[in-house]
Amino acid sequence: MLGVRDFDAFTPDNDPYDEHDFGSFKAAGERMLWKIDYYDRERRFGSPDPADPAVTTRVLTIMLSSEY
Q: What is the mean pLDDT of residues 51-61?
A: 97
Provide the number of structural domains found in the chain: 1
R_g of the chain, CA atoms, integer Å: 13
pLDDT at res. 28: 92
Residue 49 lies in a domain: yes
> Residue 41 belongs to what domain range?
2-9+24-67
Q: Is the pLDDT of residue 61 over 90?
A: yes
On whether the CB atoms of residues 22 and 36 are closer than 8 A, the answer is: yes
pLDDT at res. 68: 83
Residue 19 lies in a domain: no
Q: Is the pLDDT of residue 24 over 90?
A: yes
Buried b (16+ CB within 10 A) or exposed e, 31-61: ebbbeeebbeeeeeeebeebeeeeebeeeee
Residue 59 lies in a domain: yes
pTM of the model: 0.84
Residue 15 lies in a domain: no
Residue 18 lies in a domain: no
Residue 33 lies in a domain: yes
Residue 50 lies in a domain: yes
pLDDT confidence of 51, banded at 50, 70, 90? very high
Residue 17 lies in a domain: no
